[in-house]
Amino acid sequence: MILKRLTLFLSLFFGTLASIPSAFAQQVPDSTGTLPPFLQQDSRHWVDSVFATLTPDERIGQLIMLAAYSNRDRAFEDTLAQQIIKYNVGGLVFFQGGPGRQAHLSNRYQEISKVPLLVAMDAEWGVGMRLDSVLKFPFQMTLGALPEDTLLYAMGREVAYQFKRLGMHVNFAPVVDVNNNADNPVIGFRSFGENKYNVARKAAAYMRGMQDNGIIAVAKHFPGHGDTDVDSHLDLPSIYQSAKRLDTLELYPFRHLMKQGLGGVMIAHLNIPSLDTTTNLPSSLSKPVITSLLKEKLGFEGLVFSDAMNMKGVTKFYPGGSADALSLMAGMDVLEFPENIDSSFNAIKMAVDSGLVSQEAIDARVRRVLEAKYWAGLNNYKPVDPQHIYQNLNNPQAQYINRTLTENAVTVLQNKANLIPIQRLDTLRVAALAIGTTKPTAFQAKLAEYTAIDTFFLPANSSIDSLYSMKERLKGYNTILVGIHDVGTRPATDYSITPEEVVFIKELARGNVNVIMSIFGNAYSVSRFRELKDINTLIMAYQETQNTQEVAAQLIFGGSAATGKMPVTATPAYDLKTGLATEAGLRFRYTYPEAVGLDSKDFSRIDTLVNQAIAAGAIPGAQVLVAKDGNVIYQKSFGYHTYENEVPVQNTDLYDLASITKISTSLAALMKLQSEGKFDFNKRLADYLPEFEGSNKEDLTFKEMLTHQARLQAWIPFWKETVRKNGKFKWRTFKADSSARFPVKVAQNLYMHRKYDKRLYKAIRKSPLNAQPGYVYSDLSFYLYPLIVERITGQKFEDYLREELYKPLGATTLTFNPEDRFPKSRIVPTEIDTLFRKQLLHGTVHDEGAAMLGGISGHAGLFGTSNDLAKLMQLYLQKGEYGGVRLLDEDVVETYTSCQYCPDNRRALGFDRINSPYIENGNAAKSASPESFGHSGFTGTFTWVDPKYNLVYVFLSNRVYPTRENSKLYDLNTRTKVQQVIYDAIEAAGKGKKGAAQK
């Protein structure tokens, strides 16, 4: 009885369909574009041979794609396997899960299938849309902001790689709906925007990227889901636009893609009276929409897929499998995700048996499906190799494309007085306020890589009292960087932005303060902040990811440029194509080797070398940074603070830089003073320190001392003069507690007499000179440079460096005595000193002489991160300019970094230079250029600048933990081997370009 009723229903309905006048019936096709790729081949032999093995029932199964998950239980997996066998289904659509698990299931299902399965996924922004532990490409709305479309082709190519790596063949993407309804609850951020031309161009580039690389693209949701305010997952939306409006607007992107060989189209569940007057009929069941419009009027010859047939947009009025039969009768080729496979199959079989849909029509569609399978390579099916699948899917090339897409999309909507990129860091007091969260954000972390910031948080739905209190707390800052986080994607929730937050932002901006606001959410969410005229700068980031947050921070400080344009109209002030350009190159851009034409894979050898050093016990951990052309292309931390493996090394941790202090304090200060005409390296020591008049050093020139050929002794073990024969300190040298007489902290619970430093300087003055002239590396003159700087400037050495150099650079971690400014958890310990201080040195300087000067000296004592040290090195590379500020004279930098006594002495003024001829395991990599320069440090540190290749390299470690007797880092030559990897990568890239040019 049930079957008879269903047959009668289908018969009556089919008759109704046949009587409906169609605005597009029997018209000449208006799209004569390129055929879909799977129709541009000769697959007849394979298709015919497979088709001949299929019974009529098995052919029906080929037109059905079931839902698969890799996060369900074994019972679900087994049930799906039984359905694949029973109905010989044509394909699967994978949804949530993980890549490794999906690979395993895909292999299982393919193995039991009579005909290889066509595997699909709804992966609009890559497989990360559905799978865990895989990167996500930006939303289409974000990509709609791109000024150029070429990057979308690269994204499509990478998405195709992801699909093929997972054994998939069809992507239900791109979305080509023109989102011209701001209240659209289901498309919105999934659309490229409201401009049909922009949508069409970008969708076509994405499509070509996929199809040129073997994946069938499926444009959706035909005939256009952009002008709805109902979610078709929950109900049947109605569109009351005229056929003419639909033809000129909604259909434009579909036509554009069809002319370029679109492989598939997905039909939406929409009720559109202007196309089909049947009450409550979804377009997915409409013959006028599918056959008359899509296939006949538009001439589409690819595969036509339904949207999921279990959605309320279709099942609300057509339950129990009837919808699936009606859909095939209307012209559908492939049914995705039927509500119940048993009911669907029975309904379709009845429609075929009763003649409501012919066997010839079924057969033609099955052949079309088999042609697609042949093109996808299923005629030579190979199982998915699960090995390294996570690494493959998250490969560096994909990460670089992802980052570049974001860099080009993030949009500056407002920028009064060109406030960004921010200038003059030394004039700022910066607060970074995160609204909508209580946890530190990636935005704040990246901001802190550029300058000193204080972080604040306002949780979602904060009370008026909390907002007022926050405003009071921010009064001491002249620059407030606001991040709007956890923004909702749906207009019905006002994007989770409260009226109180809107008022707070407006009030904040009315003060005498620069407010820079970044919205990490839906493009339409800016409509919640209707009047933002008092905000200095407004950045639209479109969504909240690590990439969008880091890119927004880089825009603010001039690491990257803004080029994006709004893809929709949010308010009259922020309408379509709104977007201001800003400049890049002011400060470091943090990116990937591919940004400068190198291959990230070539840098994996750095990881290998550093991890080998850690495994060998040469170092407990390290930081490595590489910058090229002003781009930080490699920045990584390894291992732990100590061999106890308790505290992992982070990029924000501070290392004792040891002798790198020479070029980052003494040299920096002297070059600054020389640039200002206040110092001359050709003068005598006694000219700046009169107390050396009459000594054997009075006529030593700074040029001689800085190049280490002034006949000065290598070093003096000052601390030994403080120790009695019994090993205890002499009573006038050190005490366990600080006091007015013993205020100088040398280590924990060890304080030096307030005048003892004079004994150090006196010892240097009285020390004999070496008998023979020539190069001897010496610390002694560097003890004296702080005195000279202080006498010339009237400022303390540390204050001068901080105010004149480090603050303008944003090098906020470069400091003496770091325990005074940073928690010990961020300071990497050095040695367990068993001779002098009898303790672990953690937060106090390793060098004994620097320690006896209170941790402040010109030869040792500076701490910092690789990031901040790299900024100073970049200043030298750029001949004295960084961040838009000239800090050193160009000629001065060139002179100080040039060899002064070559070939007898390789040294520049304070800087080290390469050995010539090259010495194996020497002071720099074999491929370092003759004009390169840098310095190393006793604790296991190294930094080098190479002007020929526009390179900065920093290696920080604590090889002296737990003892300085550990020489394994030298034996392995890790630091310069890592440096050589960089040059090898450059050479490999050069060979690759040359080979490509020859081809």
Note the pLDDT tens digit of each residue in 650-709.
999 999 999 999 999 999 999 999 999 999 999 999 999 999 999 999 999 999 999 999
Closest CA to 270 of 298, 247, 241, 292: 241
Strands (DSSP E) along 822-961, which ranges?
832-833, 839-840, 862-864, 881-882, 885-886, 912-913, 933-937, 941-946, 951-957
Please report, for residues 260, 328, 542, 812, 892, the alpha-carbon distance to residue 190 in angstroms, rounded to integers and kept in the order given: 22, 28, 11, 41, 55
Give the DSSP letter of residue 998: H
Reduced to 3 states, what is the DSSP secondary structure of residue 600?
helix
CA atoms within 13 A on the CB side of 998: 6
Tokens of 618: 């040469």
Tens digit of each residue's pLDDT (9 = 90 or more) over 21-36: 444 444 445 555 689 9
User: In the chain, what percentage of residues exceed pLDDT 70?
Assistant: 96
Residue 235 and residue 282 in contact, taking contact as beta carbons nearer than 8 Å:
no
What is the DSSP pairing of strand 91-94 with strand 64-68?
A: parallel
What is the DSSP pairing of strand 91-94 with strand 411-415?
A: unpaired
Tokens of 78: 């087994």
Given pLDDT bands bounded at 50, 70 and 90, which one contains residue 489? confident
Closest CA to 307 of 250, 269, 270, 275: 269
Q: What's 611-654 look like in SS3?
A: HHHHHCCCCCEEEEEEEECCEEEEEEEEEECCCCCCCECCCCCE
Tens digit of each residue's pLDDT (9 = 90 or more) over 599-616: 999 999 999 999 999 999
Residue 523 and residue 502 in contact, taking contact as beta carbons nearer than 8 Å:
no
Backbone φ and ψ for 902, nearest 5 degrees, come out as: -65, 145
At which residue do the structure tokens 């291992």 appear? 639
Residue 116 and residue 107 in contact, taking contact as beta carbons nearer than 8 Å:
no
Reduced to 3 states, what is the DSSP secondary structure of residue 103?
helix
Tokens of 886: 């000239």
- pLDDT at position 533 is 83
CA atoms within 13 A on the CB side of 479: 22
Residue 468 and residue 419 in contact, taking contact as beta carbons nearer than 8 Å:
no
- pLDDT at position 811 is 98
Reduced to 3 states, what is the DSSP secondary structure of residue 592?
coil
- 435: enclosing H helix or E strand: strand 430-435
How far, in Å, CA of 159 to CA of 214, rounded? 11
Residue 345 has pLDDT above 60, yes or no: yes
At which residue do the structure tokens 């090995």 appear? 387
At which residue do the structure tokens 């298709």 appear? 47
Tokens of 69: 């998950």
Residue 455 and residue 440 in contact, taking contact as beta carbons nearer than 8 Å:
yes
CA atoms within 13 A on the CB side of 999: 6
- pLDDT at position 767 is 97
Tens digit of each residue's pLDDT (9 = 90 or more) over 137-187: 999 999 999 999 999 999 999 999 999 999 999 999 999 999 999 998 899
